[in-house]
Each structure stands twice: as C-alpha cells, then as structure tokens.
Amino acid sequence: MALPSQDSAKLVDAHLAEVYRYAFRLSGSPWDAEELTQQVFLIAHQNVDQLRHPDSARAWLFTILRHCFGRNQRRWEPQREADLGLELDRLAEETPDAESIDSESLQAALNKLSGEYRLVVLMYYFEQCSYREIAEKLDLPIGTVMSRLARGKSALRKLLADDLLAIAKVSH
C-alpha cells in the first residue's frame, strides 16, 4: 500500500539529517548540500505514492539524491591520473593512520575526487553498499565498479596522506 501524501513530513523528520550529510559529502559545500536536500524531498513529496514500503525510504531517498547529484553535475570532471595508480608496492606509505583522519580532512580529500569516483566511494563508505549493490544501483558492470572502487579508495588514501604530509610540513 502506498504512503499517503501527508507522510512527506514524516519522511523529512526521519531522514533529513542523513540526506543532508550525504549531500554535503557528495557536493562538498553546505549551500549545494542544502539545495540538493531540498530537491530530494521535493521530488520525494511529489512522488510519495511510489514509495511502497516505509522501510525502503532511506534507500529510495538516497537514490533520488544520487540522481539529483548526477543531474546537477553537467559532466564528470576527469580524475588526475596520478591519483588513480594502483601501485601495490606503495600501499603502505600511501595509507594514513586511521586515527589521523577527521571530518574536514576527509572532505578536503573527497572534494579532490572526480564525481564518478566520489559517488562510488560514498556509496561504499556512507551507504555501506557492497560492490554488487553499487553495480545494481548504478547499472554498471561489476568489474567496472570493483575497479572504480579500488582506484577511488586508493586515490582517497593518497589524498588524505598528502594532506597530512602538508600539515606536518607547515607545523615544522
């Protein structure tokens, strides 16, 4: 049975924080995150009859968010090739300590990832999707998702490590 339209308000109450946080991580700016969040809930409100099960509301809203984010990005900017190399020999030095990561450094690194890598990485970390779920939701081959995820995670680690290195240099 479909949810009645007045339940849009309940959707906002229950999922606003998560949608905004996801939107912020995707867009990297509070302005854009709020814009995206509003778009998501307006689209959800106008199509609330499509939501058959309240339990799937979170996944449904995230799907709308990803769609809005993709639509707002006129085209994916290319990722720097230097960030994407998967050099197994250098994994250790390019992996920062877990304790050194905070919200700001994470966002600074995410902002440097191109949209297509950022999306896959966020689906992995924020939504905690498996690569199969990511492939299904983005309608991509599993091999493409695995490769993109590995490269995206590797690039994120390098960017985080570079950031920490830069901070260390400044403090010395």
Partner 1 sequence: MTSEMWAAIESVPLSGENPADSLSPEALQALAQDERLRATHERIVALDHRIAVVIHDVPLPEGLANRVAEAVALSPVRGAVVPIATASTSLGLGEGAQQARSRRFWLAAGSAAVVASIVLLAMALTQWNADPAWNVGQLAEAAAHFCLSGGEQSGDARTDAPPSDFPFGRGVVVPSVNRWRLIGDFFGREAVAYELPSIGGHRATLYVARLNISDPLDAPPQKPDFSTGRCAVAIWQRQGVAYLLVVVGDQPVSAYPWFLERPTSPLT
Q: Which residues would be at the binding site for partner 1 (CB under 8 A)?
A: 2, 4-5, 8-9, 12-13, 16-18, 20-21, 24-25, 30-31, 34-35, 37-39, 41-42, 45-49, 86, 88, 91-92, 95-99, 101-103, 106, 122, 124-126, 128-131, 145-147, 149-150, 153-154, 156-157
For residues 49 and 172, which CB has a smaller minimum distance to partner 1 in the complex? 49
Helices 57-72 and 115-125, packing angle to 10 deg: 170
For residues 103 and 171, which CB has a smaller minimum distance to partner 1 in the complex? 103
For residues 32 and 172, which CB has a smaller minimum distance to partner 1 in the complex? 32
**Do the Cβ atoms of 164 and 100 come closer than 8 Å?**
yes
At closest approach, how far in Å is the CB of 24 from partner 1?
Answer: 5
Torsion of CA 61, 19, 113, 92, to 10 degrees: -110
Give the gyration radius of the chain's Cα atoms.
18
At closest approach, how far in Å is the CB of 153 from partner 1?
Answer: 5
At closest approach, how far in Å is the CB of 78 from partner 1?
Answer: 20
For residues 137 and 157, which CB has a smaller minimum distance to partner 1 in the complex? 157
For residues 71 and 172, which CB has a smaller minimum distance to partner 1 in the complex? 71
DSSP string, 61-88: HHHHHHHHHHHHSSSPPPPPHHHH---G
Integer Cα distance of 167 and 144 in angstroms = 34
**Do the Cβ atoms of 111 and 37 come closer than 8 Å?**
no
At closest approach, how far in Å is the CB of 42 from partner 1?
Answer: 5
Identity of the amino acid at 106: L
